[in-house]
Amino acid sequence: MKRRDLVRGLGAGAAVAGLTACSKQAKQKQTKTASFSGKPIEWTMVTTWPKNFAGLGEGAEYLAQLINDLSGGRMQVKVYGSGELVPALQVFESVAIGAAQMGHGAAYYWRGKLAMAPFFASVPFGLNAQEMNGWLLHGGGLDLWRELYEPVGLIPEPAGNTGVQMAGWFNKEINSMDDVKGLKMRIPGLGGEVWKRAGGIPVLMPGSEVFTSLETGAIDAAEWVGPYNDLAFGLFKAAKYYYYPGWHEPGTTLEALINKEAYKALPEDLQQVVTNACRAANADMLADFTARNNQALKTLVEKHRVQLKELPEDVLRELAKISDEMLEEQASSDLDKRILNSFISFRDQARQWHKVSEQSYYSARS
């Protein structure tokens, strides 16, 4: 199957098609620049986040600015927020067909297109941010990620991490698994599958729709990210119970999607600029969230009187059991199985090491 046909089969929308003409013009400019015409190579980045949104949208802007600066002005990347050129959930298709040269989002949004994509964003009770970076950059994860995206002409790079997220916002208390039954919750990726198997109703929607849906009762609960982002979204106005820990997203990696043809057309030094800018942005976002989350949480609790609650131990235990059962059913092809085995193997060895390192240190510090 040709790559373009495959991408079309994944559901490219009319909005994506509308960008194709612009893409052709960009490619013409790119070819001239690559032969040193003196004009900058112009790239478009489309994102799944609202324009300049705290943390996530700012991370996309930071990445674009890094590329512009590190290239010495030889590249110019312009960022468009969700809905400005394409809807949030059409970023994957836009970059795959070359309508945009670059995208910024999270791989679990593409589960309906590539079943194993969520493994490169976040897995329930899986790897935290430190472990995800270890797996991707030194444990073979990035090679598997690239192999998964290769048939659709995309090159993925880690380009941000939120750290451990919150379990979400609820308009009712969760005291047992019975409270999960029938609860309609905005929750993407494999976390959504666990929620479904637990008796809840998962809903996939972009961040721009979360507040209104929660406020109007279209959904009963919603996870977004954590205090820093959730405060900026004003979610405390739509729900009063704020639960932790983020069992479904313990260390969510954000991705830069790069059109393979556009990347290959760059001179080698600019290819390295793009790659290394992604790595720098990946580290910077985690630092940003680590620096800002606790102050935002204090504001939510002390100023806005949010009720901060921990999920009951028996609820977490049951969700973990469901998650383990689900993971074993994810892999079908040889590549799927290699991704699953690599992920689980790395998770197990990281868990063993962190028992005598991170966990024991946290216990001693407390």
In this structure, are residues 74 and 253 in contact, taking their beta carbons and an 8 Å threshold?
A: no
Q: How many angstroms separate the CA atoms of 76 and 73, rounded? A: 7
> According to the model, what pLDDT value does residue 6 have?
52
Beta-strand ranges (E) seen in the chain are 41-47, 75-80, 102-105, 154-161, 168-170, 184-186, 201-203, 221-222, 241-244, 253-259, 307-310
Question: Which of 133, 245, 257 has its CA nearest to residue 191?
Answer: 245
> According to the model, what pLDDT value does residue 10 have?
52
Sheet strands side by side (includes 75-80): 75-80, 41-47, 102-105, 253-259, 154-161
- Domains belonging to the chain, first-starting first, are 3-162+251-290 (3.40.190.170), 168-249+294-329 (3.40.190.10)
- How many alpha carbons fall within 13 Å on the CB side of residue 299? 15
- Tens of pLDDT, residue by residue, the chain (366 residues): 455 555 545 554 444 444 444 444 444 444 333 444 579 999 999 999 999 999 999 999 999 999 999 999 999 999 999 999 999 999 999 999 999 999 999 999 999 999 999 999 999 999 999 999 999 999 999 999 999 999 999 999 999 999 999 999 999 999 999 999 999 999 999 999 999 999 999 999 998 899 999 999 999 999 999 999 999 999 999 999 999 999 999 999 999 999 999 999 999 999 999 999 999 999 999 999 999 999 999 999 999 999 999 999 999 999 999 999 999 888 889 999 999 999 999 999 999 999 999 999 999 998
In this structure, are residues 89 and 105 in contact, taking their beta carbons and an 8 Å threshold?
A: no
The angle subtended at Cα 320 by Cα 314 and Cα 325, nearest 5°, is: 130
65 in helix, strand or coil? Answer: helix
Q: How many angstroms separate the CA atoms of 106 and 158, rounded? A: 9
> According to the model, what pLDDT value does residue 29 have?
42
> According to the model, what pLDDT value does residue 195 have?
98
Is residue 251 packed enough to be buried (19+ CB in 10 Å), middle (13-18) or exposed (0-12)?
buried
Is residue 74 packed enough to be buried (19+ CB in 10 Å), middle (13-18) or exposed (0-12)?
buried
> According to the model, what pLDDT value does residue 37 have?
55
